Amino acid sequence: MQRCVWGVVMGLLMGLLTACQLDGMFRNGVQATAFRERYVDQPRYTAMVLRPYQQGDSYLVDLSGRMTEDQFGTYRAGTVVPLGSPITITRLEDRYLAARIEGYREEFRVMVETQQGTADDVTKELAVLLTQTPPLSTVRPVMRPYIERQQLAQGMSWREVYMSWGQPDKTQVLPSSASVLEEWIYFDRRMHLFLENGYVTNWQQM
């Protein structure tokens, strides 16, 4: 009888330790498990054009912004993943999410910047990358032709720019007291893009 009770107690303790164990980007194992149930092996679509970095035999998608800030020697890969490509998160790593994208044999690793380490926190970060429905179905009709041709237009939202061109290589906030002004730089396109309160106002060649 004592052995049975001891076995139950040990099982409970191991369960608690697993739940409290840190899992990389997550606060604890409970949050990691909640995320796995919500995302891993669940088919999605890419919600933006992907311009990944080359990392050995895999591709890296940096949603955190750390690559462009800290590692200027890391170059984007010579591939562009179209908007709306089928994508599936396959597993969690220490600081990455591993994913497969239809039509690519290489693995994609997604780097996110979490604030609280919860499943909801990571889900919020991934909203810019993943969507459950084909993304063009949610685009404003006036902007759809530009996105389909991977072009810019005045009045585009920052999210629509992501859908058309992907993430910029560098961003900076410009001084302003009346609104939020941003400059986005795309090195491969040699383009400076200017946004006010999240909407495109102008652009110019380097």
pLDDT per residue as tens, the chain (206 positions)? 555 444 443 444 334 333 333 347 888 999 999 999 999 999 999 999 999 998 889 999 999 877 665 555 567 888 999 999 999 999 998 889 999 999 999 999 999 988 889 999 999 999 999 999 999 999 999 999 999 999 999 999 999 999 999 999 999 998 888 899 999 999 889 999 999 999 999 999 98
Task: Report how many helices (DSSP H) and strands (DSSP E) the chain contains, helices first.
Answer: 6, 11
The domains of the chain, with CATH numbers, are 22-134 (no CATH), 139-205 (3.30.1450.10)
Task: Tell me the pTM.
Answer: 0.83
The helix/strand/coil state of 109 is strand
Whether the Cβ atoms of residue 63 and residue 106 lie closer than 8 Å to each other: no
